[in-house]
C-alpha cells in the first residue's frame, strides 16, 4: 500500500449565526473550510477538515509522502517535521502538516476497518462536551437561546467570550449560567478573552467577576507565550488558567507547565495534528494537568479526546459548519457519543459540496483569522 497523492477541496458558506470574540466583537457569519484527502493505490482515502496553503500541502505530499506506506503515521509526521525544521515548522506549514496528519490517522483507521477512537486506543466512545457560543456578537436573547438549546442536550458547561465590556460580561455570564441551569445540572462557567488583555487587566476583570460567579477556567487571559504573565494571572484568581490552542509545537508547552503558567492545556488540531496533540496531552499528563479539546466542524476530532485520560471537556460550537458532510457522532445527555463508522466518521455529501465549493476563498471570508484588535492589551474599549 502506497500514498499516491492528495486532493484539496475548498468551500465557503454562511453559518447559521455570527461568531465573534474580543478581537472581532461584531462577529462574522462567513466561513471557509477545506477537505483534504490523502489518496492511495488501493482506492481508499483518508480525509481531514483542515487548513494550510494548498501549495504547501502539495509540496509536503509530493516531496515526502508519495510512495510511502500511509500506516506509518507517526514516522511520516516526523519526516514532515524534520524536512521543515530549518525554515521553521510553525505557522502555515505547521497547519499543513497538522491537516495531513489528521487525514493519515483517518486513513489508518479506515484501513483497520474500525472507528478512529479504537485505533487511538480509547476504551470508550463518549467524550464530555461543553457549549461555546463564540458569542460576543450575539445579543442577549440570542445568547440565552443558544445556551438553553445546548442545555436541552444535557450540556451543563458553557464558555462565554469576554473582554471588551466588564458590565456586559457580568450580565451575560448570569444569562449563560441561568440558561445552562435548565439542564437540571449545576452550571459550569468558563470565560475566554482570546489574548485581549494584559495580565493586570485580566486579574482586575476576572477577580471582579469572581465576586459573583464561580468560574472554572479563564482561557487565554494573556498572550499565549507570556509565561510570567499567565503565571501571575493564575496565582491571582481562583479560576484555572487555560491556554495553548494557538501554540504550534510540543516544546512551546513545556515552559507553561514547568513554570505553573497553565493549569489546563487547550489542545487544538493546529498543534501538530493528532500526533502532536497526543504528545502534548502526554506532557500535561506528566504534570498532572487536564486538557480540553478545541472546537471543530461536526466535532470530528472528538475521537482524540476519547483516548486521553486527562481530558475534561470538548468545546462544542454548533454553528452549522458541517455544510457538506456528516460526522458519525451525536450529543446525548451532555456527552459526544462516537459511532462505529470506520475512521473519523466524516462522510462527504457531494451534492452539498457542489453548492459551496470554490476555487479560491473570497476576500474577508476566513473565519478565525480576523487578527488582533487595535487596543488589545492596552484599553478595553478603543477610542475612535
Binding site for Mg ion (CB under 5 A): 192, 219
The pairing of beta strand 291-293 with beta strand 240-243: unpaired
Q: How far is the CB of 220 from Mg ion (least distance, A)?
A: 6
Cβ atoms of 262 and 255 within 8 Å: the answer is no
Cα separation, 160 vs 69, in Å, equals: 44
Cα separation, 95 vs 51, in Å, equals: 6
User: For Mg ion, which is the closer residue by CB, 219 or 263?
Assistant: 219
User: For Mg ion, which is the closer residue by CB, 101 or 219?
Assistant: 219
Q: How far is the CB of 75 from Mg ion (least distance, A)?
A: 32
Cα separation, 125 vs 54, in Å, equals: 33
User: For Mg ion, which is the closer residue by CB, 50 or 133?
Assistant: 133
Q: How far is the CB of 90 from Mg ion (least distance, A)?
A: 19
Q: How far is the CB of 302 from Mg ion (least distance, A)?
A: 17
- φ/ψ of residue 98, rounded to 5: -60, -45
Q: How far is the CB of 242 from Mg ion (least distance, A)?
A: 8
The pairing of beta strand 335-338 with beta strand 240-243: unpaired
The pairing of beta strand 264-267 with beta strand 291-293: parallel
Mention every residue, 6+ apart, whose C-beta is less than 8 A from residue 315.
130, 132, 159, 292, 293, 294, 295
User: For Mg ion, which is the closer residue by CB, 61 or 316?
Assistant: 316
Nearest residue to the partner Mg ion, using Cβ: 192
User: For Mg ion, which is the closer residue by CB, 219 or 226?
Assistant: 219
Amino acid at each position: 500500500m502506497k500514498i499516491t497523492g492528495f486532493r484539496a477541496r475548498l468551500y465557503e458558506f454562511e453559518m447559521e449565526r455570527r461568531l465573534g470574540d474580543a478581537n472581532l466583537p461584531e462577529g462574522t457569519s462567513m466561513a471557509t473550510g477545506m477537505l483534504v484527502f490523502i489518496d492511495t493505490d488501493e482506492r481508499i482515502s483518508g480525509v481531514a477538515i483542515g487548513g494550510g496553503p494548498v501549495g504547501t500541502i502539495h509540496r509536503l505530499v509530493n516531496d515526502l509522502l508519495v510512495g510511502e506506506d500511509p500506516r506509518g503515521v507517526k514516522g511520516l509526521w516526523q519526516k514532515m517535521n524534520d524536512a521543515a525544521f530549518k525554515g521553521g515548522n510553525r505557522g502555515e506549514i505547521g497547519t499543513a502538516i497538522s491537516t495531513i496528519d489528521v487525514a493519515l490517522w483517518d486513513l489508518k483507521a479506515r484501513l483497520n476497518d474500525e472507528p478512529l477512537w479504537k485505533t487511538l486506543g480509547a476504551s470508550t466512545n463518549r467524550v464530555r462536551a461543553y457549549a461555546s457560543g463564540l458569542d460576543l456578537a450575539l445579543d442577549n436573547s440570542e445568547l440565552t437561546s443558544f445556551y438553553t438549546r445546548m442545555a436541552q442536550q444535557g450540556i451543563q458547561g458553557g464558555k462565554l467570550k469576554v473582554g471588551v465590556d466588564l458590565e456586559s460580561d457580568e450580565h451575560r455570564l448570569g444569562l449563560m449560567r441561568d440558561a445552562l441551569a435548565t439542564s437540571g445540572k449545576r452550571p459550569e462557567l468558563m470565560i475566554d478573552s482570546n489574548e485581549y488583555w494584559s495580565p493586570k487587566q485580566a486579574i482586575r476583570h476576572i477577580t471582579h467577576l469572581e465576586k459573583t460567579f464561580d468560574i472554572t477556567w479563564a482561557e487565554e487571559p494573556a498572550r499565549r507565550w507570556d509565561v510570567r504573565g499567565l503565571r501571575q494571572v493564575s496565582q491571582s484568581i481562583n479560576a484555572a488558567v487555560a491556554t495553548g490552542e494557538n501554540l504550534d509545537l510540543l516544546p512551546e508547552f513545556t515552559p507553561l507547565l514547568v513554570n505553573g503558567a497553565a493549569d489546563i492545556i487547550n489542545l487544538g488540531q493546529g498543534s501538530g495534528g493528532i500526533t502532536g496533540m497526543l504528545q502534548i496531552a502526554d506532557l500535561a499528563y506528566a504534570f498532572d494537568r487536564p486538557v480540553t479539546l478545541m472546537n471543530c466542524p461536526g466535532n470530528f476530532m472528538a475521537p482524540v479526546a476519547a483516548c486521553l485520560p486527562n481530558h475534561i471537556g470538548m468545546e462544542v460550537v454548533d454553528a452549522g459548519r458541517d455544510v457538506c458532510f456528516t460526522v458519525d457522532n451525536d450529543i446525548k445527555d451532555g456527552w459526544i457519543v462516537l459511532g462505529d463508522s470506520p475512521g473519523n466518521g466524516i462522510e462527504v455529501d457531494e451534492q452539498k459540496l457542489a453548492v459551496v465549493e470554490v476555487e479560491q476563498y473570497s476576500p474577508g471570508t476566513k473565519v478565525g483569522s480576523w487578527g488582533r484588535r487595535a487596543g488589545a492589551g492596552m484599553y478595553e474599549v478603543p477610542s475612535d
